[in-house]
Amino acid sequence: MKVVALFSGHGASAVVLEDGVVKNYFKEERYSRKKHDEGIEHIYQMILDSDPDYIILNTNYDEDDKRELIRRVNPRVKFIETKESVHHLHHASLAFYNSGFDKALVLVVDACGGVVGEDEYEGESIYFARYPCKFTPIYKKNWSEEHVIHDPNIGNLYNSAALAIGQTIDDCGKAMGLSSYGERIWEIKFTLDRVNNYFQECPDFLDVLFRRRDRYYIDINKDNYKKFADYCCEVQWHCQEQVCELVGKYVKKTGVKKVCIGGGYGLNILTNYQLIKRFPDVEFYFEPLCDDGGNSIGAAMYAYRKITQDMTVKPITTTAHHGIKHKIDLIDGEYAESNDIARLLYMNRSVAVFNGHAESGQRALGNRSILFNALNPDARDIVNRI
């Protein structure tokens, strides 16, 4: 059975799922060359010849456009409606089905999940997941615009660190990296007045914090970085402590010692390390496509299990399923050993890697890589020019 899912919005993507396994996955930004592209102009074209049995659409298309898209894909295809309120369920289903666990707790943490009420959004969720498609919510923390400044959820607190250093909410990894160069700020404790006082000489950031603007620009250098690194350090500490507390509490409460991590915050490798370190008797699975780009896959997997009631555990075997698989034997070249590549890198030559499907996810490396000598102090600038 073949299921196709097409999602616009943050991390726009599409997937072709066959018998519960990803056949092809497409992310809009890789075709449009616009990072975090929310459109579906290119990926829509990629699924036209997929001939699915079922199709899931989560787009801003009106009903007429949806009908036309469905007609072009397959006039006989069965349409599955999805709702904004199941955003965290899609994160959870992707992580659980990929994990290989027969049952597990699934923790989903992001800044802005599905809409669950008027001006209310998902923030943190924990599900008890079992086959074929049972996801029982055992913990939920939602948030609203009215209360987020005074009592930020984990995802929005994490976002604030990226915003503080002049980046966007899609750049939290930079704040996580900078946190290692900072120290704890014991007096902040993330009440509105204390953060306000700490950044009183940065009124532009306060405008961002109070949502009066989306971003501000600042030159962080070796002379002024410490204040921002300290803030990132404090944010990182508070976020990871809350995550560890949630995991510890619900592992103890349920007795389930298999835990999946999904949602955008799952890319925080410092927190993931702390989880493994603090809970050595717990089996963890960290979903590599845990950002919103993976939700098309999660939706398709959930739909497949719900329709077929398939109980077969099919753990993830690769993330190399983006785009179309290319036949490398049709490309001119010569065989090279790893020693040959190492020699070229030592000579400061760039080496392109091209093999089969591209890899998927924010941590994708390998099949579409540019390798360069990391010992060269100008490596970043050279690779960026390439």
Domain boundaries, the chain: 2-82+294-308, 92-286, 328-385
pLDDT in tens, 34-90: 988 999 999 999 999 999 999 999 887 788 888 888 888 888 899 888 877 799 999
What does the alpha-carbon distance between residue 191 and residue 214 come to, in Å, rounded to a whole number?
Answer: 21
Q: What is the token pair recorded at 134? A: 């049972």
Is CATH 3.40.50.720 correct for 92-286? no
Amino acid at the residue 73: V
Question: Is 92-286 the same fold as 2-82+294-308?
Answer: yes
Sequence-ordered list of residues with C-beta below 8 angstroms from that of 377, at least 6 positions apart, any chain? none
Q: What pLDDT is stored for residue 274 in this prediction?
A: 98
Architecture of 2-82+294-308 per CATH?
2-Layer Sandwich (3.30)
Taking the whole predicted model, whether its pTM rises above 0.85 is answered as yes
pLDDT in tens, 209-254: 777 787 888 889 999 999 999 999 999 999 999 999 999 999 999 9
Q: What pLDDT is stored for residue 363 in this prediction?
A: 64
Residue 36 burial by Cβ neighbours in a 10 Å radius (0-12, 13-18, 19+): middle
Provide the CA 289 distance to its chain's centre, in angstroms. Answer: 5
Task: Spell 56-86 as b/e; 16+ CB within 10 A means b.
Answer: bbbbebeeeebeebbeebbeebeebebeeeb
pLDDT in tens, 255-274: 999 999 999 999 999 999 99
pLDDT in tens, 152-161: 889 989 998 9
